[in-house]
Chain A
Amino acid sequence: MSAQTTAKPSIIIDGVKKRFTLNHAFSLKDTMVSWIKRRKLTSEFEALKGLDLVIGEGESVAILGLNGSGKSTLLKLVSGVMEPDEGQVLTRGRVAGLIEVGAGFHPELSGRENVFLNAAILGMKKHEIEARYDEIVAFSEIEQFIDQEVKHYSSGMFMRLAFSVAIHVELDVLLVDEILSVGDAPFREKCRLKFEELSARGKTLVVVTHDMEMVRELCTRGIVINKGNLVYDGEIEGAIALVDK
């Protein structure tokens, strides 16, 4: 038995199917017109077609695949934003998602207020945020602008702060979706080191990205999804080779 299978599972995805119903008619008029023309009102789209996956504690896993293969849907199911239609998703410990950081930022509030608001949205308690506040601001390197309204921030500053909040959340499982591509080179390097540190502390990392360099450095296991099916699960190099070709 390999090291992976003996690790305690952290995320279990068991026969998960996810369907989206696409509506073609929204109003009563559209519905009548479609009905007269005998056109279908809705069509189904299966984003995940029965996925089985076990991710062990402390693993760093990259989920790869082309656009529309169902990667983000999978991550949304793990984070709890969506529910599977069939099968079950189970997680152990605190799950935090870096799924589009800054979603909870309010442009009219100052950087400081936004740190508290966003950390609370990600599930942190008041004393936890207070304890980590200095660390969060230091990591973002925007101390001198922290009392300004966020709407005056440049997109880079905004991203740094948002990312900094998200990465300092107390967690056991970290979901990362496509945010590694933003920021300048020094900040990206800093983020990478932070991920490595989390990984070294035994946190589970699930990364969805198209940035193969980052994946190669961070992850040990690669999973390739194609059109809602699992097509590869194993060593990272194999996964990258499969996607890149």
Chain B
Amino acid sequence: MSEPVTYTRDLFSDVPRSDFDTPGKSRGLIDVVRWRYLLSLLVRTGVTTRYRNSVLGWTWSYVRPAAQFLVFWVVLGIFMNLDRNVPNYAVYLFSGIVVINLFSEGFKNATTSIVGNAPLVRKVFLPRQLFAVSAIIVSFVHFLPQVALLLLVCLLMGWIMHVSILGVLAIFAAMLIVMLFSLGLGLFFGAVNVRYRDAENIVELMLLLATWASPVLYSWTYVQDAVVDRLHWPQWLVDVYMLNPITHGVELFHFAFWRPATENLVAGAGYVGDQMMAIPPGLAWNTLWTFLIALGTLLVGQLIFRRLEGRFAQDL
């Protein structure tokens, strides 16, 4: 009974090798589907505990974008007169800001999700992608009231009379592209962040640039005019600029919300301001390309994440 076990015999004589699992082998994002119940609990925890112990609670989800919007609108719209060139500038601004917020929130939280859950990552084995995925979903939940607000304003401006099915599809396409893209980037930087906390600062920097690298505050035609007409740089630079999934998400939201909501205004009698700028060329095709770019980012992010995952427990 107690004599030492001998290891010279075949380890798999009684039970075939295939009955055994290698602990700690995850199948990446496929595992997230199998652990969907835990994912739903993590999302619920993320949503309900976010404003715990704060008096205003969920109101903060509106206050932050509202303040951001006000600053941009007063400074850029009124002081710098962008209001004149882009009709219905307030709605233009807000429909871009919500997309940027969805991206920033998701990307930032996904990046810190692994380090933020260090006690769990160090002690229990579970697919760590869950944390990043839940961060993205939580940011989506916070994004919904902002979209509701945007929709309300647009409805008041006669949005429903001019919106097309394509416009509605554009909303969903934009959300999908932006979330896939932020998950891909979040997985990559989240994994790197475990070893090099510089990642967090790099992400902060990227988010600072994201607002300006997309036509949120200005119109895409400014880029076209500046790059091609004034600087005489090649056209493909503009094309590359338009292929940024965030830029495209913003453009899709402009197409879906701002355009239909502005038709009445510019067509109204006595309107003296500029007409709406043209829809960016190749908006439909770019939806496909940016979707593929976002998907590619997700695959690369996932690949790097899985490569580094094995070292998370010891590096944290």
Contacts and interface: CB of A to CB of B under 8 A. Distances in A.
Contact of A109 (B5, B38, B45, B314): B45
Interface stretch (A33-41, A91-99, A138-146, A189-197): A91-99
Contacts of B53: 108
B74 interface: no
A116 B41 contact: yes
B125 interface: yes
Interface stretch (B15-23, B234-242, B283-291): B15-23
Interface residues of B, number: 40
Interface stretch (A8-16, A62-70, A180-188, A207-215): A8-16
A234 B1 CA distance: 9
Contacts of A88: 22
A78 B123 CA distance: 12
A42 to B, nearest CB: 13
A25 interface: no
A79 interface: yes
B201 interface: no
A99 B11 contact: no
A104 B3 contact: no
B4 A233 contact: yes
A83 B24 contact: yes
Interface residues of A, number: 49
A89 B22 CA distance: 6
A9 B49 contact: no
Given A80-B125, A234-B2, A14 B313 contact: no
Interface centre among B52, B125, B313 (most CB of A within 10 A): B125
A144 B63 CA distance: 39
B3 A2 contact: yes
A41 B36 CA distance: 42
Interface string B6-37: 11010100110101111111000000000101
Contacts of A52: 7
A4 interface: yes
A131 interface: no
A152 interface: no
Given A97-B125, A104-B120, A233-B4, 15 more contacts: A6-B14, A9-B15, A12-B11, A14-B11, A54-B11, A79-B23, A80-B23, A81-B121, A83-B310, A90-B21, A100-B119, A103-B123, A108-B53, A116-B41, A233-B5
Interface of A: 2-6, 8-9, 12, 14, 20, 52, 54, 76-83, 88-92, 95, 97, 99-100, 103-104, 106, 108-109, 113, 116-117, 120-123, 125-126, 220-221, 233-235, 238
